[in-house]
């Protein structure tokens, strides 16, 4: 999901530089400095500024506020890291609205790599991180994230303007300084999702924002009470450590474009060793769709090899002095050496063994916290239209499967390729997809064998299929009527999503949940019914003072009820997903 946060996005016809990523602390500082009167005008200021021309000159980005006034953002290294780096030429500067509006309109930067001075406070944070229980600063930071995320949920995306976003960004910055990078990243994800929703970005998905909001609330809620290894997991790590891994012989699998909501873009190439372990080589930096499509033709950043990502996806790599992160990402340190080697076909060893793993075992691994790639042999059965667009219907070892696009950005060819593959109904293909947990077997299509040449393969986010690539004489297969999900858990899911979109008030209407909780209980989902009733009760609970006036709502109580329902929903859908794929046991 990648929101288009300004109208001057790079385009193939004439790329115009967009706004550079701005550190969360900068946005929070600029918004906090505004007077109450200007805060009320901030959202209108953001919309107006987004329509103004943007020009990049080296590390400086200029926005023409009007014919006589320019706003400058100085971004050394591509990121704005201080409030002083945002300068305006208007008469009210530096106390003007324009600086805060520009920061609020820009993508949110990743602060994880910013250096910090070794202060006494930093030493206290380190001592807290080594403790078995959360320290005072950690607990305070977690409460700040929860309160800011609860305020966003209270307002919904329609009401979560730049001021509420800045409060959540400030909480994210506080969490990072307190040594809680996971909570910080979760809060930033919520802000980027809100901005995508409010800008009507075509790639925005309400389910993604609901998941991000649940993640932020969940981590912040659990940190004050966690201990030992559980607390260490909730704290997270700002940077993944790389460990030496000796010499590696790798075989290219496929390459996929990366386009994030935080203003980063590039490519990731997946490789495997002879034992089937997966490794990735990435090139991700600040940028937009143009960088996502162009990075595949850049040389990989490892050793002295001149292989591009597109070439590596079909060739091989011999690496000495390799360093690897816990997620399998290859390091590119000075001691790493890499040279080109021969690749392997998907239907030849050693890559063949990836597809030899039973599908249920692959899904169990993904649901248990392993990598979420699925290596599948499928038979295409046509296409079906869903609310989010077309998807392919396929048979996978007797499992009726839906294959959807991995990214909706118009600049990426995923959707066009999927529509062409729909015309190859009846074809058997070997594919790579990413598991999309849900009550029906579903995956996001990433790469596939060429429809008319099994020896070739197609990176569906980078390569464009043509009609001439389809097998001769193929006609689109008639898709069967899509199966209807009869499980009434959608009643709970719908209310959770409505709250994210419209805020507490949409669940507070009398009779809004009439019969839903009872229906869930009638089919044996008593816990779901009770949670739904509790969610509506929390939304409608507004106490009055002695004069009969409504008191402020309890955002914390509503957020707690919403979070409990979201956690239940996630676990229930995880169990349904395992059942749909035939998984009997999910690793802990």
Strands (E), 205-315: 243-259, 264-272, 278-286
Domain match, 215 and 257 both: no
Whether residues 159 and 259 share a domain: the answer is: no
In-domain check, residue 300 = yes
Strand 399-405 and strand 389-396: the pairing is: antiparallel
One domain, residues 247 and 231: no
The pTM assigned to this predicted structure is: 0.82
Residue 202: predicted pLDDT = 73
324 with 366, same domain: the answer is no
pLDDT value for 512: 54
- Are 329 and 364 part of one and the same domain? no
Separation of first and last alpha carbons in the chain: 29
| Domain, as residue range, for 453 | 357-469
Q: Choose among 65, 50, 64: nearest CA to 19.
A: 50
- Per-position DSSP letters for 52-102, written without gaps between them: S-EEEETTEEEEESSSS-EEEEE-GGG-B-SGGGEEE-STTTTSSHHHHHH
Evaluate whether residue 223 is within a structural domain: yes
Angle at 352 between CA 348 and CA 354, to 5 degrees: 155
* Residue that is last in its domain, among 217, 235, 253: 235
Length of the chain: 588
Least Cα distance to 100 among 59, 178, 41, 149 occurs for 41
| 529 contacts 520 by C-beta, under 8 angstroms | yes
Clarify whether residues 98 and 132 are in a common domain: no
3-state SS string for 87-144 = EECCCCCCCCHHHHHHHHHCCECCCCCCCCCCCHHHHHHHHHHHCCECCHHHHHHHHH
Q: Domains in the chain: how many in total?
A: 5
Burial, 530: exposed, middle or buried (Cβ in 10 Å; 0-12, 13-18, 19+)?
middle
Same domain, 263 and 228: no
On whether residue 112 sits in a domain, the answer given is no
Tens place of pLDDT per residue across the chain (588 aa): 333 333 333 333 222 347 888 999 999 999 999 999 999 999 999 988 888 888 888 889 999 988 888 999 999 888 899 999 999 999 888 889 999 999 999 988 876 544 344 444 555 555 555 568 889 999 999 999 999 999 999 999 989 999 999 999 999 999 999 999 999 999 999 999 999 899 887 778 898 899 999 999 999 999 999 998 899 999 988 777 788 888 999 999 999 999 876 667 899 999 999 999 999 999 988 778 888 889 899 998 887 788 999 999 999 999 999 899 888 999 888 888 999 999 999 999 999 999 999 999 999 999 988 899 999 999 998 888 876 677 899 999 889 999 999 988 888 999 999 989 988 877 789 999 999 988 889 999 999 999 888 889 999 999 999 988 888 755 555 455 445 455 688 889 999 999 999 999 999 876 555 688 888 998 888 999 999 999 998 998 877 767 777 777 788 899 999 999 999 999 998 888 999 898 988 766
- In this prediction, residue 558 carries a pLDDT of 94
> Are the beta carbons of 308 and 415 closer than 8 angstroms?
no
Check whether residue 221 and residue 247 sit in a common domain: no
Question: What CA–CA distance (Å, rounded) separates 195 from 73?
Answer: 20
- Inside any domain, residue 89: yes
Whether residue 424 lies inside any domain: the answer is: yes
What are residue 403's DSSP bridge partners? 392, 443
| 4 within a domain of the structure (yes/no) | no
Q: Are residues 271 and 301 in the same domain?
A: yes
Could you tell me if 372 and 388 lie in one domain?
A: yes
Residue 535: its H or E element: helix 526-540
Residues 414 and 494 in one domain: no
In this structure, what CATH number is given to the domain that contains residue 310? 2.40.50
Classify 525 as helix, strand or coil. coil
The answer to whether residues 431 and 448 touch, using CB atoms and an 8 Å cutoff, is yes
**Looking at the structure, do residues 409 and 443 belong to the same domain, yes or no?**
yes
| Final residue before a domain boundary, out of 235, 254, 269 | 235
The last residue of one of the domains, among 434, 469, 504, is: 469
Residue 15 maps to a domain:
no
Residue 350 belongs to a domain = no
Which residue do the tokens 């079906």 mark? 384
């Amino acid at each position: 999901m990648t929101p288009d946060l300004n109208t001057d996005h790079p385009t193939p016809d004439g790329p115009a530089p967009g706004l550079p990523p701005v550190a969360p602390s900068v946005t929070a500082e600029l918004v906090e400095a505004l007077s109450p009167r200007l805060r009320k005008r901030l959202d209108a200021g953001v919309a107006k500024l987004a329509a103004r021309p943007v020009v990049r000159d080296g590390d400086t980005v200029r926005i023409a506020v009007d014919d006589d006034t320019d706003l400058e953002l100085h971004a050394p290294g591509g990121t704005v890291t201080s409030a002083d780096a945002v300068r305006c030429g208007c008469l009210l500067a530096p106390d003007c609205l324009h600086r805060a509006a520009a920061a609020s309109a820009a993508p949110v930067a990743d602060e994880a790599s910013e250096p910090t001075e070794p202060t006494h406070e930093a030493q206290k944070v380190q001592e807290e991180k080594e403790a078995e229980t959360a320290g005072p600063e950690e607990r305070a930071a977690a409460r700040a994230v929860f309160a800011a995320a609860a305020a966003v949920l209270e307002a919904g995306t329609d009401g979560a303007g730049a001021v509420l976003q800045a409060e959540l960004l400030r909480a994210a910055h506080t969490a990072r300084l307190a040594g809680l990078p996971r909570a910080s990243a979760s809060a930033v994800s919520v802000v980027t999702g809100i901005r995508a929703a409010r800008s009507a970005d075509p790639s925005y998905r309400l389910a993604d924002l609901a998941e991000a909001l649940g993640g932020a609330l969940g981590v912040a809620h659990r940190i004050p009470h966690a201990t030992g290894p559980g607390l260490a997991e909730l704290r997270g790590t700002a940077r993944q450590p790389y460990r030496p891994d000796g010499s590696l012989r790798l075989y290219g699998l496929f390459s996929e474009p990366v386009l994030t909501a935080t203003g980063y873009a590039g490519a990731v190439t997946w490789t495997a060793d002879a034992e089937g372990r997966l490794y990735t080589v990435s090139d991700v930096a600040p940028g937009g769709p143009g960088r996502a499509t162009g990075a595949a033709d850049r040389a990989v950043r490892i050793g002295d090899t001149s292989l591009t990502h597109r070439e590596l996806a079909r060739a091989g790599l011999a690496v000495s002095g390799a360093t690897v992160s816990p997620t399998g990402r290859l390091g590119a340190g000075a001691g790493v050496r890499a040279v080109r080697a021969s690749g392997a076909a998907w239907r030849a060893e050693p890559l063949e063994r990836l597809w030899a793993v039973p599908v249920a075992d692959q899904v169990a691994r993904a649901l248990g916290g392993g990598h979420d790639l699925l290596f599948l042999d499928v038979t295409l059965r046509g296409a079906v239209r869903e609310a989010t667009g077309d998807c392919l219907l396929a048979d996978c070892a007797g499992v009726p499967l839906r294959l959807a696009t991995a990214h909706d950005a118009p600049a990426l060819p995923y959707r066009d390729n999927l529509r062409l593959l729909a015309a190859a109904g009846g074809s058997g293909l070997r594919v790579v997809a990413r598991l999309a947990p849900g009550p029906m077997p579903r995956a996001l299509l990433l790469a596939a064998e060429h429809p008319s040449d099994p020896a070739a393969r197609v990176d569906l986010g980078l390569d464009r299929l043509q009609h001439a690539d389809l097998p001769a004489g193929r006609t689109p297969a008639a898709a069967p009527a899509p199966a209807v999900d009869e499980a009434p858990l959608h009643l709970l899911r719908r209310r959770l999503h409505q709250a994210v979109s419209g805020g507490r008030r949409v669940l507070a209407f009398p009779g809004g949940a009439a019969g839903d909780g009872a229906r869930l209980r009638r089919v044996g989902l008593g816990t779901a019914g009770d949670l739904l009733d509790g969610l509506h009760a929390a939304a409608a609970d507004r106490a009055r003072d002695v004069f009969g006036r409504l008191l402020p709502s309890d955002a914390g109580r509503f957020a707690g009820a919403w979070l409990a329902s979201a956690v239940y929903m996630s676990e229930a859908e995880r169990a349904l997903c395992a059942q749909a794929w035939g998984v009997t046991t999910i690793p802990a």
